[in-house]
Amino acid sequence: RLHCPRNYIHTQLFITFILKAAAVFLKDATLFHQENTDHCSFSTVLCKVSVATSHFATMTNFSWLLAEAVYLTCLLVSTLPSTRRVFWWLVLAAW
């Protein structure tokens, strides 16, 4: 019973927490490497990539939180066997 959809969603959610933490560390290392240098004007490509990665990680984290909430709501509202189909739509929408 370890391969149920709820555990899969939890696994993806924890992966996004790790991705978000890594993206924040990357962004902070890029933007605040030295106190006296403005790295966004010094290296705009690295600045944009690090900030975009941080925003992507935050968005996927919130998307998986939403996917888990919708999946649990579907489990509470309906007891139909169509929750498997809803589950894969949630996986696709969250990433």
Write out pLDDT tens, residues 53-63: 989 999 999 99
Confidence band, pLDDT 50/70/90 cuts, at residue 89: confident
Return d(Cα 88, Cα 82) in angstroms, integer. 11
Between 30 and 17, name the one with better pLDDT: 17
Residue of higher predicted confidence among 61 and 71: 61
Task: Give the chain's length.
Answer: 95
Q: Is the pTM of this model over 0.85?
A: no
**pLDDT score, position 37:** 60
66-68-73-74 Cα dihedral, nearest 10 degrees: 110
Total count of domains within the chain: 1
> Domain limits at 12?
5-94
